[in-house]
Structure 1
Amino acid sequence: MKRFILLDTAPIPGTADALCLFEYGDDFVIKIQGGKGGQLMNTRTHGSEDALATIPCSALSSKADARVLIGGLGMGFTLAAALQHLARNAEVVVAELVPGVIEWNRGALGEKSGNPLSDPRTRVVNQDVAELLKSESAGFDAIMLDVDNGPEGLTQKSNSWLYSPGGLEACARALRPKGTLAVWSASADRAFSQRLSKAGFKAREEQVYAHGNSGTRHTIWIAQRK
């Protein structure tokens, strides 16, 4: 019988919480310490994480010197999908707040996603994506956010600014003209769609399967800067 085997614990900077990496049979699972909210990520179910990058980056496949930002490294699947669709001279900046998550992706966890951190197009920074966005101006063709459980299902209150009007306006400023913001969420949120519009985006919602062609669906907002 499969059981969860704790491999490592990584403190979340600025909080009393930590992320825990478990081995579960042939898969890896990340949870919040203490079990709040259950599983955050699982290497077996990453279809929506793939789609978060595939949708905006496939439109950039022929663009020279494309530059994109991923907020939240997670298990590396969004990064791997972005690299799959971008040209050889592209740059993918990944902002990850938790140092331990970066180290996990350089180890056994990274093998599950094809070791995308070793790709020369990848630049990973140990930084809160919110702080990085505040310092950028028209620097990215696409921004992909997979922070927490999305705008409605936050487990860390400190993440709320990113989905606020001020956070979305910062995303708009950080995008190049006609750039795309893609936001992952565990569930739909009509109020967030309205917030995107007020921040200067033309947005649509896409429902994508977490794994395969049935079962749990997640929401991805695809929002183009007006």
Structure 2
Amino acid sequence: MIPWEELASAQAPEGDTLRLFRRGEEFSIRLQDGNELMNSRLGGSEIALATLSFARLGTRPAPRVLIGGLGMGFTLRAAQEVAPVDARLIVSEIVPELIGWASAHMRPVFGDCLLDSRVEVRAGDVVAEIANAKPAYDAILLDVDNGPDGLTRDGNDALYGEEGLAAAHRALTPRGVLAIWSAHPDPAFTKRLARANFDVKVESVRAGRSKRGSRHTVWTAVRKGR
């Protein structure tokens, strides 16, 4: 079996070390303790995050979409496939090195998707992007940390707590979509979304791109009100 080769490492804002590995055509991003955050052979649930979001958003002219977390680009590439030609796809990635990895070490995974004129990648915290949303977004797709229960950032309450959900509600256009990926189901979070004035749909989707294997959770929540 081909051994794993470490290609690069980076510090996350709260001090965690992210390590990029390659084995043949397979890539893996892990924490220092070995916990795997993402793998290039998976991505089915991250793809679903985009496709389910656009399905609930429906047809509208020039949709403006914010994607929180670049990762291995599964959500971005899926959004590119279904978004209209006049869409704007803004990706916010808090670890700048991951943006560099996309066009260097992980070029076999990303291809030329970052050259799409609809795409803008910004190094920074998606919390700030949401707080400063002008104009508002038609959809906000969050694949940040491991979902509402998180692994690496204590500050994720700023996204998934009551104040964070209120900020997302303000940052969306009427009937805009807030979509959230999680490694695990969370009934309490579903109720929190509903209290934040969203029409919530929860789906269990395959982690990989086959009909077998573990499942992840995707919430698509449509903004109520004007």
- Normalized against structure 1, the TM-score is what? 0.94
The answer to whether structure 1 residue 166 and structure 2 residue 166 are counterparts is: no
Equivalent residue in structure 2 for 1:175, among 169, 172, 176: 172
Q: Distance in 1 between matches of 2:54 and 2:111?
A: 18
Q: Distance in 2 between matches of 1:197 and 1:73?
A: 27
Mark the CA change 1:141 to 1:110 in structure 2 (over 3 Å): closer, same or farther: farther
Contact preservation (8 Å) 2:7, 2:105 = no
Equivalent residue in structure 1 for 2:200, among 196, 200, 203: 203
Q: Distance in 1 between matches of 2:75 and 2:178?
A: 14
Mark the CA change 1:110 to 1:57 in structure 2 (over 3 Å): closer, same or farther: farther
Query: What is the one-letter code of the residue matched to 1:31?
Result: R
Give the total of aligned pairs: 223
Q: What displacement does 1:57 show?
A: 2.0
Q: What displacement does 1:140 show?
A: 0.8
The answer to whether structure 1 residue 79 and structure 2 residue 76 are counterparts is: yes
The SS at the match of 1:207 is strand
Q: What displacement does 1:160 show?
A: 2.5
Q: Distance in 2 between matches of 1:88 and 1:59?
A: 18
What are structure 2's unaligned runs of at least 5 residues?
Answer: none
Q: Distance in 2 between matches of 1:115 and 1:74?
A: 15
Q: Which stretch of structure 1 is more off in the superposition, 71-80 or 111-120? A: 111-120
Q: Distance in 2 between matches of 1:158 and 1:167?
A: 10
In structure 2, the residue matched to 1:140 is 137
In structure 2, the residue matched to 1:96 is 93
Query: What is the one-letter code of the residue matched to 2:26?
Result: D
Contact preservation (8 Å) 2:56, 2:220 = no
The SS at the match of 2:145 is coil
Question: Cα RMSD over matched residues?
Answer: 1.5
Q: Which stretch of structure 1 is more off in the superposition, 147-156 or 91-100? A: 147-156
Contact preservation (8 Å) 1:60, 1:86 = no
Query: What is the one-letter code of the residue matched to 2:157?
Result: S
Equivalent residue in structure 1 for 2:36, among 30, 36, 39: 39
Equivalent residue in structure 1 for 2:50, among 53, 59, 64: 53
The SS at the match of 1:152 is coil
Q: Distance in 2 between matches of 1:40 and 1:33?
A: 11
Q: Distance in 2 between matches of 1:100 and 1:121?
A: 22
Mark the CA change 1:99 to 1:205 in structure 2 (over 3 Å): closer, same or farther: same
The answer to whether structure 1 residue 122 and structure 2 residue 148 are counterparts is: no
Q: Distance in 2 between matches of 1:139 and 1:83?
A: 20
The SS at the match of 2:168 is helix
